[in-house]
Structure 1
Amino acid sequence: MSTGNSSRSRTPGALAPLLRITAFTAPGQAVVVRLDGEAAPDRRRRLDAALSRMVALRPARLVVDLAGLAYCDTTSLDALLGARAAAQAADVELLLASPTAQARRLLESTGPEELFTIRDSVLAALGDTPAGTG
């Protein structure tokens, strides 16, 4: 899955970096969703839809890779919280991987950091033993 958006950024006349959403299946029944570019408010619907599709696949583990995220705000955070709730309801373990400094500050300053399992890399997230199996 790969999608893009050429919406304009907050700077008049400048194109915002695309929000590119890619997903792949990793060994061990895990799906990794990578976010690249800006997860700006006008891209929330696409982000929600992509995360919902991945949760609907019901992998044992869903890893959201934030390493390429150039910008995110509370709208993006709401999308992640919605995906977390849907994942819990579907018995899918959701982890965040490689948050950028900006994403980590957002998580820390708004409180949801404690609600997510966060790993420094996708490899670390994939290497974790799923809850209840260790």
Structure 2
Amino acid sequence: MDRGTVGSAQSGRLLVEVRQEGSSAVVTPAGELDHHTADLLREPLEDCLSKGLSRLVVDCSRLEFCDSTGLNVLLGARLKAEAAGGGVHLAGMQPVVARVFEITGADAVFTVHDSLDAALADEDG
């Protein structure tokens, strides 16, 4: 898969990079993931799944904010990835984003890694 950037020229609040690393699609959202920008992440996640990449690693290290809409995008991708025999791995979450996952209990349904390198090293997980 080519490395590409998907973004909204109007908001500029979220850019998403996608690349393939081994059997994983690495999706890196940068900025704010909320009601206004959720489709900018949803579309590349669904595109990866439609191309047969069911192991999605979301590098959250550049994600500055995530609200319930963003959380729902990730949960929806998780269900589709698991149905395809894969999963969604979250890596490098900033404390403010990790807190959203903790208080909603969503951290219990995702495989969470401290870093992108750790997520990529855990190919079996």
Q: Same fold (TM over 0.5)?
A: yes
Residue 2 of structure 1 pairs with residue 25 of structure 2:
no
Distance 2:9 2:32 in 1: 10
Equivalent in the alignment of 1:14: none
Q: What is the letter of the counterpart of residue 2 of structure 1?
A: T
Alpha-carbon displacement from aligned partner over 1:84-110 (angstroms, at most 9, x marks no partner) = 001011112321111111110000001
Residue 54 of structure 1 pairs with residue 48 of structure 2:
yes
Which runs of no fewer than 5 residues in structure 2 stay unpaired? none
Residue 19 of structure 1 pairs with residue 14 of structure 2:
yes
Q: What is the letter of the counterpart of residue 116 of structure 2?
A: V
Q: Are the counterparts in 2 of residues 58 and 92 from structure 1 also a CA contact under 8 Å? A: no
**How many residues align structurally?**
122
Residue 45 of structure 1 pairs with residue 34 of structure 2:
no
Aligned-pair identity in percent equals 33
Which runs of no fewer than 5 residues in structure 1 stay unpaired? 9-16
Q: Give the Å deviation of 1:76.
A: 0.4
Q: Are the counterparts in 2 of residues 55 and 92 from structure 1 also a CA contact under 8 Å? A: no
Q: 1:46 to 1:60 in 2, by over 3 A?
A: closer
Q: Give the Å deviation of 1:130.
A: 1.2
Distance 2:26 2:76 in 1: 17
Distance 2:54 2:7 in 1: 27
TM-score, scaled to structure 2 = 0.89
Alpha-carbon displacement from aligned partner over 1:71-90 (angstroms, at most 9, x marks no partner) = 11111000000000010111
Alpha-carbon displacement from aligned partner over 1:22-47 (angstroms, at most 9, x marks no partner) = 011113x1110001011121112222
Distance 1:5 1:129 in 2: 32
Equivalent in the alignment of 1:79: 73
Which moves more between the two structures, 51-60 or 32-41? 51-60
Structure 1 residue runs of 4+, over 3 Å off?
none
Q: What is the letter of the counterpart of residue 69 of structure 2?
A: T
Match of residue 92, structure 1, among 86, 94, 112: 86
TM-score, scaled to structure 1 = 0.83
Q: Give the Å deviation of 1:112.
A: 0.9
